[in-house]
Structure 1
Amino acid sequence: MYLFNVRVYGILIDANDRVLVSDERTQSVAFTKFPGGGLEYGEGLLDALKREFMEECNLKIEIVRHLYTTDFYEKSSFNNSQIISIYYLVKAVDTLNVPLKDKAMDFNSDNVLEKEEVFRLVDCNQLLSKHLTFKTDQVAWEVYKNTSNFRNS
């Protein structure tokens, strides 16, 4: 039996043209990605994304539009499932009120076995695809830049 792992992520751009990214550490592996996560059984994609933003960022969001759905094979880095990721452009309904870090992988704990997540707002002109760990995030970021009147100063 082959397992599918459906993931949903949001690309949130603030009024200062900065994108919200998540630095996470789990199982002693660190990675940078967009906020979001796994679809739970019985849940729709948009509800899942709204739930993930509430769980991770304590932030209500509005879905602006669909950006990208994985169109290539991607094996999970954590198990034997195939990842299918769906990305949406989102906007904050409330004020982002989560502690923000200035540098990548600036975790609060030295315990590398402890799961931890921290957030950063990165200038859209400074975020390169190679700064994102997973290929699906990299492709979604390129799609955003190519379809959203993105300005690279």
Structure 2
Amino acid sequence: MEYFNVRVYGLLLNDDDELLISDEQEYGMRFSKFPGGGLELGEGLIDGLKREFMEECNLEIEVVGHFYTTDFAVKSAFNNSQVISVYYQVRSLGTVNLNIKTAAFDFDGEGEVLQAFRWVPLTALSTADFEFPTDKRVVELLQNEL
């Protein structure tokens, strides 16, 4: 691994105890993850997370608290970097106006980069539904809290 790649993600629950999940297709892969993404140079974690939610969800959020930071070495699935991911509990400051899907990878349209959102009940979360090791760890931690 040649460098660090810092990523930041938000855990957004609705009033029905469902978690917002992002299904994506990029780099020839399909994967489910939490909303968020890579930190830009000169950007703080909170500002980066707020920017990512605006870019991905057109949604203004507030960070409620820290949930988890990667505590083991993870190589990126996309390049030769070591990924450090930080997860925050967030709440929406407005109405969530996304085209919510009920099935994984139910994309509208075609292309190289696709994204769809769905609400998943906390009680139905499974590590098998996630591709990346840090997301799997977050699901385990969420399950332990139930």
Question: TM-score range, shorter-chain basis?
Answer: over 0.9
| Aligned residues of 2:70 and 2:84 also touching (Cα < 8 A) | yes
TM-score, reference length from structure 2? 0.95
Moved more, 101-110 or 79-88: 101-110
| Aligned residues of 1:67 and 1:144 also touching (Cα < 8 A) | no
Aligned partner of 1:137 in structure 2 is 135
Aligned partner of 1:120 in structure 2 is 118
Q: Which runs of 5+ in 2 are unaligned?
A: none
Superposition map of 1:79-118 within 5 A: 79-111=79-111, 114-118=112-116
1:109 offset after TM fit, Å? 2.5
Secondary structure in structure 2 of the residue aligned to 1:125:
helix
CA RMSD of aligned residues (A): 1.2
Structure 1: how far apart are the matches of 2:139 and 2:67? 9
Q: Which runs of 5+ in 1 are unaligned?
A: none
Aligned partner of 1:64 in structure 2 is 64
User: If each structure's strand is expressed as a fraction of its own residues, which one has the higher value?
Assistant: 2
Which ranges of 4 or more aligned residues in structure 1 deviate by more than 4 Å? none
Secondary structure in structure 2 of the residue aligned to 1:72:
coil
Tell me the number of residue pairs that the alignment of Structure 1 and Structure 2 aligns.
146
TM-score, reference length from structure 1? 0.91
| Aligned residues of 2:20 and 2:35 also touching (Cα < 8 A) | yes
Give yes or no for the alignment of 1:4 onto 2:37. Answer: no
Identity of aligned residues (%): 52
